[in-house]
Each structure stands twice: as C-alpha cells, then as structure tokens.
Amino acid sequence: MAKLEINSRRELSKRDKKIFGHFLEHFHRQIYGGIFDPDSAFSNSSGFRQDVLEALKRIEVPIIRWPGGCFVSAYHWKNGIGKQRTPYFDKAWRVEEPNSFGTDEFIEYCRLLGAEPYICTNAGTGSAEEMSDWVEYCNLPSEGKWAKLRIENGHPEPYNVKYWSIGNENYGDWEMGAKDVKEWGRFVRESAKMMKRVDPTIELMAASISDLDWNLDLLREAGQYLDWISIHDYWDKLHNVNDLSDYETCIAYTMDIEQPILKTKYILGSLGYLGKIRISFDEWNLRGWHHPHVNSGTDDYLTPRDKNDINSSYTMADAVFTACFLNQCLKHSDVVGMANFSPTVNTRGAIFTHPEGIVLRPTYFVYELYTRYLGDIIIDSWMSEDSNFLLEKANKTTRIPFLDAIATKRSGSENLRIALVNRHPDRVETVSIQFDSSIQYSSAVFYSVIGDSKDAYNDIGKERVRTIEQPLKLDMQSNLEVEILPHSVNVLVIK
C-alpha cells in the first residue's frame, strides 16, 4: 500500500490557469476541417464548428497559441486580413494556404470560446517592424495605419491581445529563418523594443530551449524586455516513422518531463530572473507530429500526414502521460505559468473531427477532470511510502513509481483536491491518504478517467475511454484509503 501525506496548511504556490492552455497551427486538419469548416453542417455562420467549440468550452480552455509552430516562420499576417485574401504557398508544410482564417477569425474564435488569444510572430522571414505592426493592428484604439485598417475591416474596438511570442523554434535548422545564438539575442531585443513601444502592457515571450548557451545570450541581450521564455518538447519522436511507442515506453517517458523545466528554472535563477520571467511550455505533447519527406522532391509528403488522425494511436498511455505532464507544471507553478497542448484538434489533438461529428480522445478527459475538479492552490504533499516497478526498454532500466500525485485546494475553501495517477499497466494500487485532522471533512468523491485496457482508445461509434464518478465514505477523520485502477487518471475531492 502507498501512503500520501498532505499538509494543507502549507501552501506552495498558486497555479496559473494558462497551464491548461492549447495550441493551433496551420498544419493538416487543425484549422481547415478542424475548428474552421464553413461547409460543415455543424458550423455556424462564421464557419466555426459548433460541436468542437462546445467541447472546448467544457474543458474551459484558458488560452490558445496561434498560428504556429513552424508555419509562422514564413507567415505574413497582413495577407490574412480584410476582404481580399490571397492564397500563398506555405514553405513550412508545402501546401497552399488559403489565408481565409487569419487574425480577425482567430480573435473571434477566442472570444466565442472565452479564451485568451496568444499570437506567435514570424521571427524567421519576418521583421521587428512586421511584428510591431501586428501589435498595432490588434491593440491600438485608432492610432496609425494598421489600427485604422482594423477599424475599416469592421472591428472598431481594439482586440487587446496581451500575450505575444517572438518566434518559434528559431534555434532549429528545420525552421524557416533559423538563427544562431548571437543573432537571436539581438533580434529578440530589437523586436521586443518595437513591440513594447506600440503597447507597453503586452507580455512577451521568446523562443527558447533548455540550453545554457542559448539562454545566456538571449537573457543578457533581451531579458529586460521579456516576461516569459518559451520551451517545447515531444517525447515520442515520430516525425519520419510513425512507429508509436507502446504503453510501457510512454510511461518511462513520464520520468523525463521534469528535466527541461528544472534546467530552464535553474538558468533563470542563475541570471537573477526568477520571479521576473516565467516559463511558457507552449508546445508539448507525448507524440511528435508525423510529417515525413517534407524536403523530398519525389516522395509523397502529404498522404502520410493522415496517419496523425488514426484514433487508435491515442490510448490510455496518452492520458496518463498528459496527467503526469500537467502534474509537473502544477508542481513547478512558481515558475511555469503557461503550457499549450499541441495541438487542440486533429493531428495529435484531444478532439478528432469527422463529417458526422467528433471523437473525444483520452487526453480530452484528463483536461475535463483537471479543469473542473482541481484547485488553484498547490499544497504540500509527499509519498511517505510508495511502490515501484522496473521497465526494461532499449537496453535501459527505468524505475517507475506506481503513483504520481499532486494536492491542491481552491482559494477560500478547505476542500482537498488531489490528482492521483496510476502509471502501472495492469495492477491496482491502494493509497492511504493522510490529511489534517483539525479540519472537519464530511465526504469524498472520486472522479476517474479509465479505459478497459492500457491500449483502450475512442473512435467513431466506439467509446472505450470514459470518465466515472464514485462517492466515497470517510471512515476516519484524517485518513482515507482509495483503490487506484491501473493506467488511470483520477481526481479525489474531499469535502
């Protein structure tokens, strides 16, 4: 039996709800045929699929990052506004971009959803001036050419977009307009200066990586202008071969989630930026996107992308990994203020669209549990007793704790809200939860995301992953024993 002890009097941090953020890129069916499909019977007069919109409202999406991703590094936003939209060839993904979904449509979508818009700018083929013009279009009331054009386009009130990023993965040679260490720091500094001259109230991020050299130069050059640094990660690398890792390998990956957070946190601390600059983990997923042959002149590079939308790819491994990732963000919410699941819809997303409706993949239900039932105050908790199991993968032995847990409560309430994840593929684990006997608790409810096997998935007409709710009886005032099903994600609310 495992033992989880909780000191609800010791509050460690307050999580920012943007940790439950999402990401949309102009890749495959995320935008066109995903959230935006004017020809669908499910779409409203603006072309937005209402079934997708309602599903996203249910998980209370707080912020959406857009339009990329690699796509943004050759995207010129001025071609995606107004009545006349000119299609162009997107050099990142080698498809024609119709430009029918642009800034105004993105803002409208965020407003309908009740989410903050977060715009990632073109730091590849773009310029500091182009970025600052985008801020002007979105945020100035009427001053200047671009604010006046927004008004002419039928949007008299400023959009007041607060969150902006300079670039996306510009450290990588795969990115259009990649930069080296010295180029990047100076480029970010000059871009940030112009953007904040237009609107000093915006919060700025810059594309980064958990690398000492990259961040030393970036922060020395531009740290005074930045509010965040952005990091990304995918653990199951599938860009060229869609050979998805099995459940056990994915669970081993959960032990690697914390490393880039800690490394980036230590770099910020060493340069005196803790408390001033936060981490935005603004693109992440267990599974990397599949897009082979993107540089080939002979191989088919489009059809293989359909493999991203095979629903059987997304199992309880994805749900368990997602919960463990979110637990790490909550654990480090003193410095991690935002995380954006990549992507929201289709490809590796939490929602799959098809002509007759949508499929909610296992990851969707994790967000439903966490946004509905967890609290905003992270409180002290620790496993004083725990079970471990060994995984042998790729000539490497990894010791995996059965349980991953984080304890929370909500501002103004003493109710305990505990996330409990059982990583084990097939063994039930009982956990004894010890809490403060000075507080009078009366009842408990156990919410769970479960699948009928570790490889369970949802598909059209097939729902093998679902949520269940179970009331629990409190036999003792300061102790509760709970059975945690294998490969499950759970939130326990003790009232």
Question: What's the pLDDT at 382?
Answer: 96
Helix (H, G, I), strand (E, B) or coil at 130: helix
Quick: pLDDT tens for 67-112: 999 999 999 999 999 999 999 999 999 999 999 999 999 999 999 9
**Closest Cα partner for 81 from 48, 109, 103?**
103
Distance CA 78, CA 476 (A): 63
Q: Quick one: pLDDT band at residue 477, thresholds 50, 70, 90?
A: confident
Distance CA 369, CA 417 (A): 11
Question: What's the pLDDT at 339?
Answer: 98
Contact, 175 vs 137, CB < 8 A?
no
Tell which phi-psi region holds residue 275, choosing left (phi > 0), alpha (psi between -120 and 50) or beta: left
Architecture in CATH of 15-373: Alpha-Beta Barrel (3.20)
Q: Which residues of 196-223 are buried (b: 16+ CB within 10 A; e: fewer)?
A: bebbeebbbbbbbbbbeebbebbbebbb
Q: What percent of the chain shows pLDDT beyond 70?
A: 100
Quick: pLDDT tens for 253-299: 999 999 999 999 999 999 999 999 999 999 999 999 999 999 999 99
Question: What's the pLDDT at 56?
Answer: 98
CATH of 2-10+377-494, one of 3.30.565.10, 1.10.150.390, 2.60.40.1180, 2.60.40.10: 2.60.40.1180
Domain spans of the chain, in order of start: 2-10+377-494, 15-373
CA–centroid distance for 86 within its chain: 31
Quick: pLDDT tens for 104-146: 999 999 999 999 999 999 999 999 999 999 999 999 999 999 9
Question: What's the pLDDT at 438?
Answer: 84
Question: What's the pLDDT at 104?
Answer: 98
Helix (H, G, I), strand (E, B) or coil at 28: coil
Quick: pLDDT tens for 360-408: 999 999 999 999 999 999 999 999 998 899 988 778 898 999 999 999 9
CA–centroid distance for 254 within its chain: 16
Question: What's the pLDDT at 327?
Answer: 98
Question: What's the pLDDT at 436?
Answer: 86
Q: Quick one: pLDDT band at residue 489, thresholds 50, 70, 90?
A: very high
Contact, 154 vs 194, CB < 8 A?
no
Question: What's the pLDDT at 393?
Answer: 76
Quick: pLDDT tens for 301-356: 999 999 999 999 999 999 999 999 999 999 999 999 999 999 999 999 999 999 99
Q: How many CB atoms sit inside 10 A of residue 141's CB?
A: 12
Is the pLDDT reported for residue 473 higher than 90?
no
